[in-house]
Chains A and B, each alone.
Chain A
C-alpha cells in the first residue's frame, strides 16, 4: 500500500497530464475569451472536488453546495464592489461612497455587516471562515443526531432555497436578483482587461492544484480510509470507537470551503455574482459534474466539470432546446449505466489496455502491482 505518500505512480502521471493540459495546452490554443470561459468552468471544479471528498468518499450527498459557492462568491464580490464604489466613482449618487444598488433602494449609509469588507485580509478570512462555520453548524446539528442520507440532502436543498429567497428579497443589502455587477478593481489592479484575465486564470489553476493536492492527501491518509469505511459500513466504524459524526462534519466542512473558494474565484474571473448560482438548480448541476467525472476520482471531477460545461455551452449555443434533454439524459445515464462516471470507464476499459500495451513492449518493471490499475484515475 502507498500509505504515507500523496499519490502512486499512475496518479502522479494523471496530475502532471492535467497540469500540462491546463497550464500549457489550453492557454496556447484558446483566445482570451474562451480561456476566460474555461476559468469560469474551473470555478465549478472546486465545488466538484469538494463533492468528491464529501459525497464520493464520505457518502454524504449535499444538494446545497450552491450555498457555499454563493457565500464565498458574495464575500469576494462585496470587497470588489466596495472598491468599485469609492466616493469619486459614485459622486452622481444621492449618497456617494455606497454601492449603486443600495442607493437605488434608498439606503443612505453602509450597513454594519458590509463595513469589514473594506479590508482584503478580512475578506480572504471570511471566504474561508463564513462558509466553514456555517457548514460546521449545519453538520453538527445534523450528524450529531445521526441524520444522513436522503434527509440530509433534502435539508441542504431547503437551505439553498432559503438563501436564494433571502438574497433576492433583501435587494437593498445584496443587490437582489441582479446580484453584484460592475466589479472593477482588486486593490487598484483592474480585473477587466485581457491580460488581467490571463493572470487570474493562472492564479486560479494554481489554487486548483493546491486543492487537488490537499484532496489527494486526505484520500491517502488514514482519515480518507476512515471516510470510505464509514460510507460502506457506518455502524462498524462507530463500534470500532471512531466518532462518525466528527468525520462527517469534517468532510462536509472541507466541501463547503472548496465550494467557497470556487465562488470567490468566480467573482474574480467572471466579474459578477448573482443568486442564480446559489439556488437548488445550480447546486444539483454541481453534483452532476462530480457524477459525470466519477464520484471517486479527484481528477475525474475536474474533467467532468470541464466536459459538461463545454457541452452545455456548445449545445445551448446551437440547439437550445436539446440542452435540457441532453442534461436530463446525462443524469439518468450516469446513474443507471455509469455510477463511477468517466473515471470508472477509464479504469475499467482504457487503462487496462494501455497497461497491456506497455507491458507487451517491455518487461514488467520491479515492484509493479495490479493495485495501481485498480484505483487508477483518468488521465485523458
Chain B
C-alpha cells in the first residue's frame, strides 16, 4: 500500500494525516474529559453526553448569529463569549438533570444508561423542534480562516490549530481543578469512599451535582469547538458517543492521563488508516483493535489501582 509514494510524499502524508488526526483527537479529548469525570469518577453512564455537546454547539451558533446581527464590530471575538455561554448552558442543564434524574440512580449504574438514553432522545427531538432538522454551520471570523504553510507540501488550517490550543488549555485546567484544588480533592474523596467522605464533613450530594455539572459543561465547550470543524445537527452528538465511551474505557476509566493517551492513539490510528483505505474500513479496524485490546486488558491502558 506504500508502493506508489516516494519517501518525501509519505512523510508529508503522515504529517498532514497526523494533523487531521490531531483535530479529531481534540474533539475526542474534550468529549472524553467530561465523560471521564462523569463515568470515571461517578460511575454514571451518561448516554446524553453527545446531546450536551450539541447544546453547546447550538449556543455557539446562536451567539454567532447574535453578534452578526447586532454587534458586527465585535464579531472577531465572539467565540470566547460563546464558549463561556456554552459551558454555562450545558453545565446548568447538567445540574438540573442530576437533581431530577441521576441522583435517584447512583446505586443502579445500568439504569442510568437507560434513563440518560431516554433523556438523549428527548433532547434530540427538542433540538429538532427548536432549531429545525437541518444542520447549521457557524461563520468563522476572518482570522480563523486560511492555513499556515509549514513547508511546500505541508499546510495546516488555522482553526485546527486554535481548537488544539483550546484543548490543551482546558485539559490543563481540568487537571488543575481535579488534582490541585480543594474541590477536586473533595471529588476524589467522595469517589474513593462516599461514606467516609460524608463522615468528615463533605457535602457529598453537592459534590455530585457540581461534578456532573462540570462534566456536562466541558461537553458544552467541546460542542463549541466542534462548530469550528463541522456542522451541527440534532443527531450529531449520537455519532460520537460510542467512540467517546471507548476512548474513556480504553484509557482506564478513572485516569485523566489514560484518557488523553487513548484519545491520541485512537484518533491517530483512524486518521492514518483513512488515507490508505475507505473511511468506514478505517473505523472498523480501529474499533476492532480497541475492542480486541479491551478483551485482553479489560482495565484499560492506565488502570488506577484501587481495592474493589
Contact = CB atoms under 8 A, between A and B. Distances in A.
A1 interface: no
Nearest to A147: B298
Contacts of A155: 249, 291, 294-295
A335 interface: yes
B122 interface: yes
Interface in A118-160: 141-142, 145-147, 149-151, 153-155, 157-159
A266 B294 CA distance: 33
A226 interface: no
Given A146-B298, A332-B101, 10 more contacts: A61-B110, A155-B249, A166-B284, A284-B117, A321-B128, A324-B125, A327-B118, A327-B121, A328-B120, A331-B121
B249 A324 contact: no
Nearest to A171: B280
A153 B110 contact: yes
A150 B45 contact: yes
B298 A145 contact: yes
* Interface majority SS (helix, strand, loop, mixed), chain B: helix
Given A151-B249, A158-B287, A332 B118 contact: yes
Contacts of B115: 331-332, 335-336
Given A321-B125, A332-B101, A157 B245 contact: yes
B303 interface: no
B124 interface: yes
B281 A162 contact: no
A339 B105 CA distance: 11
Contacts of A264: none
A267 interface: no
B104 A169 contact: no
30 contacts: A142-B298, A149-B110, A150-B39, A150-B109, A150-B110, A151-B249, A153-B110, A153-B113, A154-B45, A158-B242, A158-B287, A161-B287, A162-B291, A165-B283, A165-B287, A166-B280, A169-B278, A169-B284, A281-B238, A291-B114, A324-B121, A328-B118, A328-B119, A328-B121, A329-B122, A332-B101, A332-B115, A332-B122, A335-B108, A335-B114
Interface string B268-286: 0000000000101101100
B129 interface: yes
Give me the 8 closest cross-chain CB pairs, A-B, nearest first.
Answer: A331-B118, A169-B280, A328-B121, A328-B122, A324-B125, A141-B295, A328-B118, A147-B298
A230 B119 CA distance: 30
Contacts of A142: 295, 298
A61 B111 CA distance: 10
A87 interface: no
Nearest to A157: B242
Classify the interface of chain A: helix, strand, loop or mixed.
helix
B249 A154 contact: yes
Nearest to B124: A324
A145 B304 CA distance: 17
Nearest to A63: B113
Interface residues of B, number: 40
B287 A162 contact: yes
Given A158-B242, A161-B242, A61 B113 contact: yes
A15 interface: no
Contacts of A169: 278, 280-281, 284
Interface in A159-200: 159, 161-162, 165-166, 168-169
A339 B115 CA distance: 11
A327 B120 CA distance: 11
A329 B119 CA distance: 8
Contacts of B178: none
B99 to A, nearest CB: 13
Contacts of B280: 165-166, 168-169
A330 interface: yes
A236 to B, nearest CB: 16
B278 A324 contact: no
B108 to A, nearest CB: 8
B295 A287 contact: no
Given A154-B245, A154-B246, A325 B114 contact: no
Contacts of A151: 249, 298
A280 B114 CA distance: 13
A281 B117 CA distance: 10
B170 interface: no
B71 interface: no
A334 interface: yes
Most A CB contacts (10 A, CB to CB) among B39, B114, B122, B124 go to: B114
B249 A330 contact: no
B109 A331 contact: no
A165 B287 CA distance: 10
B298 A324 contact: no
B122 A325 contact: yes
Contacts of A336: 101, 104-105, 115
B290 interface: yes
A288 interface: yes
A370 B288 CA distance: 51
Contacts of A159: 291
Contacts of A330: 118
Contacts of B288: 162
A287 B242 CA distance: 17
B273 to A, nearest CB: 13
Interface in A51-86: 61, 63
